[in-house]
């Protein structure tokens, strides 16, 4: 599989100017890296992608991840196909179930069986995107109909993956496993085998792995541990992320995000050092089975602003070019 390096914009976008510099940087690099966005509850993620396309940005894009409780899989398929059709570039529709608290805020009850719900969701999307008439009544989703035909450049389906059970499901139904803050050795030793197991059972190819990696260049006056806490603090307060990290040997607990941030830095999951150091350290992810790396400058954006984050991204890409020729 071909390796690529993209960027994840770590903001809930409120203005296109927050994401445009990252998109332009990837465009200047020939569109070889993907621009990823998580779920924005300000300006909706797919509309951000459509706006970038209208501004002439032609690069691969992906949601990492869109939250399933916000939309029916029919609408999710239509939104993803719309981005692919407007941009003329392949799109990764990454989906995640969200935390139970978020599910409960939008549904009568949280998913009784999150894995079964995601299997239904992604399977419905795949059949709709293939042009099928779908008549399906599951435990979580019902649909009877098809998408109106519309040419597009291709949609791949992704699942947010942190732990082995979701990885096995992704192996069975997804094209891409989207991981956040997952240590390289954990990807290699835990997630990739589970993905392969699910793919083998379903008699299909193993999904690609796309991993969002926190990065910050070490600079005079920059406190890397504070930067890590600024960028990863929200995830370090979430039980499912800290459970994944502890499985990987990183001591993180949801009641102490500051200690978790220290552990991220100490373990190298928050990748720092010189730009050349970071470029070399990212190769550990490629050797571990990661096919797409998305540089996540969340800590620098949150603590120092977009300009400082863009300087980091430009320096890291220059170092990657030096390393890989």
Summarize pLDDT for 222-240 with one digit per residue, the tens. 999 999 999 999 999 999 9
Task: Average the pLDDT over 22-39 and give the result.
Answer: 96
DSSP label of 112: S
| Portion of the chain with pLDDT greater than 70, in percent | 99
For 124-258, strand residue ranges (E) read 134-137, 142-145, 155-160, 176-180, 208-217
pLDDT score, position 119: 98
Residue 293 above 80 pLDDT?
Answer: yes
Give the pLDDT band (50/70/90) at residue 325: confident
Residue 111 above 70 pLDDT?
Answer: yes
- Are the beta carbons of 227 and 271 closer than 8 angstroms? no
Question: Which residues, 6 or more positions from 4, have their beta carbon under 8 angstroms from its beta carbon?
Answer: 32, 33, 34, 291, 292, 293
pLDDT score, position 234: 96
Task: Average the pLDDT over 62-75 and give the result.
Answer: 98
Residue 52 above 70 pLDDT?
Answer: yes
Question: Which tens digit of pLDDT belongs to each residue from 120-130?
Answer: 999 999 999 99
Residue 18 above 60 pLDDT?
Answer: yes
Give the pLDDT band (50/70/90) at residue 301: very high
Question: Which tens digit of pLDDT belongs to each residue from 233-287?
Answer: 999 999 999 999 999 999 999 999 999 999 999 999 999 999 999 999 999 999 9
- Cα gap 272→281, rounded to integer Å: 9
Q: What are phi and psi of 271, to 5 degrees?
A: -85, 120
Please indicate, yes or no, whether the overall pTM of this predicted structure exceeds 0.85.
yes
Residue 1 above 60 pLDDT?
Answer: no
Closest by CA position to 64, among listed 6, 120, 107, 110:
6
pLDDT score, position 2: 64
Please state, in angstroms and as integers, the Cα–Cα distance from residue 98 to each residue in 39, 101, 102, 106, 237, following that order: 10, 8, 6, 11, 14
Residue 54 above 60 pLDDT?
Answer: yes
Residue 64 above 90 pLDDT?
Answer: yes
Tokens of 54: 């209208």
pLDDT score, position 268: 98
Q: What is the mean pLDDT of the chain?
A: 97
Distance of alpha carbon 91 from the chain centroid: 12
Give the pLDDT band (50/70/90) at residue 70: very high
Task: Average the pLDDT over 34-50 and give the result.
Answer: 98
């Amino acid at each position: 599989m071909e390796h690529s390096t993209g960027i994840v914009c770590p903001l809930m976008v409120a203005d296109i100017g927050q994401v445009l510099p990252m998109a332009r940087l990837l465009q200047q690099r020939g569109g070889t890296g993907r621009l990823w966005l998580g779920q924005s509850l300000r300006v909706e993620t797919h509309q951000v992608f459509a706006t970038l396309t209208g501004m002439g940005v032609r690069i691969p894009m992906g949601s990492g991840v869109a939250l399933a409780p916000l939309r029916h899989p029919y609408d999710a398929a239509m939104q993803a196909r719309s981005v692919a059709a407007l941009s003329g570039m392949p799109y990764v529709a990454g989906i995640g179930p969200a935390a139970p608290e978020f599910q409960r805020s939008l549904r009568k009850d949280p998913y009784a069986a999150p894995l079964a719900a995601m299997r239904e969701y992604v399977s419905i999307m795949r059949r709709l995107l293939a042009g099928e008439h779908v008549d399906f009544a599951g435990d979580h989703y019902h649909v009877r109909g098809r998408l109106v035909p519309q040419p597009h450049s291709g949609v791949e389906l992704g699942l947010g993956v942190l732990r082995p059970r979701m990885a096995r499901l992704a192996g069975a139904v997804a094209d891409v496993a989207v991981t956040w803050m997952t240590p390289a050795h954990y990807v290699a030793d835990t997630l990739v085998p589970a993905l392969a197991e699910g793919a083998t059972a379903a008699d299909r190819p193993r999904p690609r792995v796309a991993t969002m990696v926190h990065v910050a260049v070490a600079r005079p006056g920059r406190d890397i541990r504070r930067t890590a806490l600024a960028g990863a603090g929200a995830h370090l307060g979430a039980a499912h992320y800290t459970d994944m990290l502890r499985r990987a040997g990183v001591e993180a607990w949801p009641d102490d995000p500051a200690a978790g941030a220290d552990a991220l830095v100490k373990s190298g999951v928050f990748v720092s050092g010189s730009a050349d150091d970071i470029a070399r350290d990212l190769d550990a992810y490629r050797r571990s089975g990661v096919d797409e790396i998305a540089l996540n400058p969340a800590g620098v954006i949150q603590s120092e602003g977009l300009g400082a984050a863009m300087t980091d991204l430009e320096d890291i890409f220059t170092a990657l070019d030096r390393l890989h020729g």
